[in-house]
């Protein structure tokens, strides 16, 4: 099945071809025809399945008949509103909308908190047809009278489960009350709790339901491995694994922001190019971390669960759980970042005695045991320490994180990963794999990373027409 056969207009087909997409993903096959037919939709799909194009392409086609090049803001009312839980996801979605609409004269912009509101106001004042927003900042604009939602025809709630987890329900209700009752609504969520179903019941009318992945299904291609290790030796083992296996792009999960900072500093001291992403870092720092991780300057990104949600990170060969999450569901979200697009991935957990109960929960949720690996010989193994201990080590003189970064050798090009022969740099190739893994596709042009970052750093101007 091709994009042509889905009935998309030539301008969109050209844009999709420019992105390097050769065939629609399963969610796109399911979503595009009903959205074009103006149905409401309840979509069960995770980020990474191509769902953004699944809703953005048909929305742009529905808006296209009224596109115009008039300089008058009145001729560019907000006609599609896309709500996302996180700033990063909002920027990514708008980046995609921009790419898909490059041959149309429709305008888009993105608004989210944590950055100066004034460039957003300027962009909104000049008129945009597609607005991507996080709920809180959108309500700030409502309060300041800098946005008019009275002409919205299509609403998308992206990652609705995350929005609810993050406490956005009251904001969503306020926003829904500001929209015209006569509209098309699409709701996407990776899980369907009772609360999501209630929300869907309130905002959708006779929705078409689509689903592309089993609920909370861990990718079958992921190998789940673990080391049993004392808490104070985890740092040592982590650095050893990264170096000895020449891991060039690893997402490492910890539970708290403090641990993320400590572990990043410890890795830097150990000569590993590491950065961290968590909610205490400024927006600029978070975006710098993400870009450096994506472009390979940093081999390791230490993340908390909240900060990692919704990030569009290309398929990763490795995810390491430095600490297990309290909720087994978070383990599944974490490892969902590897084993995508038919490529094998490896999830490695460092488990100490205190985490035994969490491990039991995870193994129950996965319905399988994590493979126990024997402890490797570690050079300098007599230097046990945890991030906590190392930071408080008397007499230590930690170098500032930034300064050490630039003296570190960056392995380029990356050496092959011994396990599974996964090649991170290989472009996405459609596979004939069926099931959940066949849905995950990733093609992120480098230019798009730069654009996302500039958008998040405040470059929020509406698309030039």
Based on the shown chain and the rule CB under 6 A, indicate whether residue 100 belongs to the binding site for ligand AMP: no
Q: In this chain, which of 443, 457, 458, 461 binds ligand AMP, going by CB under 6 A?
A: 443
Which residue bears the tokens 């309290």? 326
Region binding ligand AMP by CB under 6 A among candidate stretches 43-51, 324-332, 350-358, 452-460? 43-51
Based on the shown chain and the rule CB under 6 A, indicate whether residue 441 belongs to the binding site for ligand AMP: yes
Q: How far is the CB of 94 from ligand AMP (least distance, A)?
A: 12
Q: In this chain, which of 8, 11, 24, 390 binds ligand AMP, going by CB under 6 A?
A: 24
Region binding ligand AMP by CB under 6 A among candidate stretches 23-31, 106-114, 236-244, 352-360? 23-31
CA distance 304 to 204: 33
Q: Contact at 8 Å (CB) between 136 and 99?
A: no
Based on the shown chain and the rule CB under 6 A, indicate whether residue 51 belongs to the binding site for ligand AMP: yes
Q: With left for phi above 0 and alpha for psi between -120 and 50, is residue 23 left, alpha or beta?
A: beta
- Which pair of tokens denotes residue 295? 């472009």
Complex with ligand AMP: residue 87 or 262, whichever CB lies closer: 87
Q: In this chain, which of 47, 134, 249, 275 binds ligand AMP, going by CB under 6 A?
A: 47
Q: How far is the CB of 33 from ligand AMP (least distance, A)?
A: 15
Q: How far is the CB of 51 from ligand AMP (least distance, A)?
A: 5
CA distance 464 to 383: 57
Based on the shown chain and the rule CB under 6 A, indicate whether residue 52 belongs to the binding site for ligand AMP: yes
Region binding ligand AMP by CB under 6 A among candidate stretches 46-54, 195-203, 361-369, 374-382? 46-54
Region binding ligand AMP by CB under 6 A among candidate stretches 18-26, 300-308, 380-388, 403-411? 18-26
Q: Contact at 8 Å (CB) between 92 and 456?
A: no
Question: H/E element holding 288?
Answer: helix 283-294
Region binding ligand AMP by CB under 6 A among candidate stretches 42-50, 65-73, 167-175, 352-360? 42-50
Phi, psi angles (nearest 5°) of residue 59: -60, -45
Region binding ligand AMP by CB under 6 A among candidate stretches 142-150, 193-201, 252-260, 435-443? 435-443
Could you give the 3-state DSSP secondary structure of residue 108? strand
Number of residues assigned to the chain = 465
CA distance 147 to 145: 6
Q: Contact at 8 Å (CB) between 192 and 49?
A: no
CB-closest chain residue to ligand AMP? 52
Based on the shown chain and the rule CB under 6 A, indicate whether residue 154 belongs to the binding site for ligand AMP: no
Based on the shown chain and the rule CB under 6 A, indicate whether residue 67 belongs to the binding site for ligand AMP: no
Q: In this chain, which of 63, 176, 444, 449 binds ligand AMP, going by CB under 6 A?
A: 444
Q: With left for phi above 0 and alpha for psi between -120 and 50, is residue 145 left, alpha or beta?
A: left
Of the candidates 316, 157, 341, 169, the one whose C-alpha atom is nearest the C-alpha of residue 252 is 316
CA distance 180 to 184: 10
Q: In this chain, which of 442, 457, 458, 465 binds ligand AMP, going by CB under 6 A?
A: 442
Q: What are the CA-CA distances from residue 377 to residues 145, 306, 380, 382, 465 (Å)? A: 63, 34, 9, 11, 60
Based on the shown chain and the rule CB under 6 A, indicate whether residue 312 belongs to the binding site for ligand AMP: yes
Q: Contact at 8 Å (CB) between 137 and 157?
A: no
Based on the shown chain and the rule CB under 6 A, indicate whether residue 102 belongs to the binding site for ligand AMP: no
Based on the shown chain and the rule CB under 6 A, indicate whether residue 13 belongs to the binding site for ligand AMP: no
Name the β-bridge partners of 261: none
Interface residues with ligand AMP (CB under 6 A) are: 21, 24-25, 28, 47-53, 312, 428, 441-444
């Amino acid at each position: 099945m091709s994009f042509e056969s889905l009935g998309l207009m030539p301008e969109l087909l050209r844009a999709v071809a420019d992105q390097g997409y050769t065939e629609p993903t399963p969610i796109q096959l399911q979503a595009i025809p009903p959205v074009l037919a103006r149905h409401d939709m309840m979509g069960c799909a995770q980020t990474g399945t191509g769902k953004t194009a699944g809703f953005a392409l048909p929305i742009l086609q529905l808006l296209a008949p009224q596109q115009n090049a008039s300089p008058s803001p009145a001729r560019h009312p907000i006609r599609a509103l896309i709500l996302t839980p996180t700033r990063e996801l909002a920027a990514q979605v708008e980046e995609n909308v921009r790419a898909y609409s490059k041959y149309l004269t429709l305008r888009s912009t993105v608004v989210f908190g944590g950055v100066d509101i004034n460039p957003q106001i300027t962009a909104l004042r000049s008129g945009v047809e597609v607005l991507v927003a996080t709920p809180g900042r959108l309500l700030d604009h409502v309060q300041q009278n800098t946005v008019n939602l009275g002409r919205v025809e299509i609403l998308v709630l992206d990652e609705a489960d995350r929005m609810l987890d993050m406490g956005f329900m009251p904001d969503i209700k306020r926003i829904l009350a500001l929209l015209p009752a006569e509209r098309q609504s699409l709701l996407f969520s990776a899980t369907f709790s009772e609360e999501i179903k209630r929300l869907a019941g309130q905002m959708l009318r006779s929705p078409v339901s689509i689903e592309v992945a089993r609920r909370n299904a861990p990718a079958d291609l992921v190998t789940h491995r673990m080391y049993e290790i004392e808490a104070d030796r985890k740092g040592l083992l982590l650095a050893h694994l990264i170096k000895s296996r020449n891991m060039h792009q690893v997402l490492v999960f910890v539970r708290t922001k403090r641990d993320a900072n400590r572990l990043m500093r410890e890795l830097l001291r150990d000569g590993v190019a590491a950065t961290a992403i968590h909610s205490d870092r400024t927006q600029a720092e978070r975006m710098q971390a993400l870009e450096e991780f994506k472009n390979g300057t940093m081999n390791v990104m230490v993340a908390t669960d909240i900060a990692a949600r919704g990030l569009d990170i290309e398929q990763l060969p490795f995810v390491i759980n430095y600490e297990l999450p309290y909720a087994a569901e978070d383990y599944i979200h974490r490892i969902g970042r590897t084993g995508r697009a038919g490529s094998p991935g490896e999830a490695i957990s460092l488990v100490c005695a205190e985490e035994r109960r969490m491990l039991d929960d995870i193994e129950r949720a996965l319905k399988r045991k994590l493979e126990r690996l024997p402890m490797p010989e570690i050079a300098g193994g007599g230097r046990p320490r945890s991030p906590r201990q190392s930071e408080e080590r008397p007499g230590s003189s930690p170098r500032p994180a930034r300064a050490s970064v630039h003296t570190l050798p960056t392995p380029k090009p990356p050496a092959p990963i011994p396990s599974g022969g996964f090649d991170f740099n290989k472009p996405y190739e459609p596979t004939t794999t069926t099931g959940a893994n066949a849905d995950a596709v990733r093609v992120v042009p480098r230019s798009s990373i730069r654009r996302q970052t500039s958008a998040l750093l405040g470059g929020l101007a509406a698309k030039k027409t």
